[in-house]
Amino acid sequence: MIGLIGGMSWESSAEYYRILNQGVRDRLGPTASARCLLWSFDFSEIERLQHDGDWAGLTARMTDAARRLEDAGADVLLICTNTMHRMAADVQAAVSIPLLHIADPTAVQIKAAGFSKVGLLGTAFTMEHDFYKGRLRDTHGLDVIVPDDRDRSTVHRVIYDELVAGKVTAESREAYRQVIARLVAEGAEAVILGCTEIMLLVKPEDSPVPVFDTTALHAEAAVAMALEG
């Protein structure tokens, strides 16, 4: 049973649900679907606490959700957002079932493709803090670069003002294309879509180098983990 800590935002949680069920159906047959549990937050509360810097309050909510999912029968946990992996260690410590960290299947696929220097797009928290870049660097040996201050502001704004509300515009897609182009000019061999909503906006054709969608890779790894043990 896959336990999902979602609602951050529900737009990307819906993609998790789709990918999980499609993955199980592809493996087990046309009527098969994923056995999963979803704890879905009200993202307006989460977003407020993020921008207030109340990470202790957020950690308390995340660990509570993890325990509730374990108590309900989950065998593995997924945090359905990159940013909230800031408290991944606390969530894992709160339960006895494994937490599948979103950065790990992403890094595995990047290294399997032969890349070592990658650009990272995500919220300002993900791009600027070390909880995500550090794991890619220290655990997986990747060289991670992020956009400059102005581009980070653009990427963050589009996520919170548009993508979490399901708004996808040509103007924002072009802005992201330009940010990606500048990362490539700095040597990025590939780009991580390190926010689970970015896949709503950026497609492979929007980048001159391969893009790695953390949402799809995370969900696909969960299917493999659940079915293969």
Side-chain-side CA neighbours of 103 within 13 Å: the count stands at 25
Active site residue 80: no
Residue type, 192: I
Going by the DSSP 8-state scheme, the letter that residue 36 receives in this structure is E
From the list 36, 59, 63, 81, the catalytic residue is: 81
| C-alpha–C-alpha distance, residues 226 and 209, integer Å | 31
Residue type, 49: L
Active site residue 195: yes
Hey, how many other C-beta atoms are within 10 angstroms of the C-beta on 157? Answer: 13
Q: What are the start-end ranges of the H helices in 39-129? A: 43-52, 55-72, 88-94, 103-112, 124-128
Residue type, 99: L
8 A C-beta contact, residue 119 and residue 190: yes
From the list 126, 195, 214, 215, the catalytic residue is: 195
Return the active site residues.
81, 195
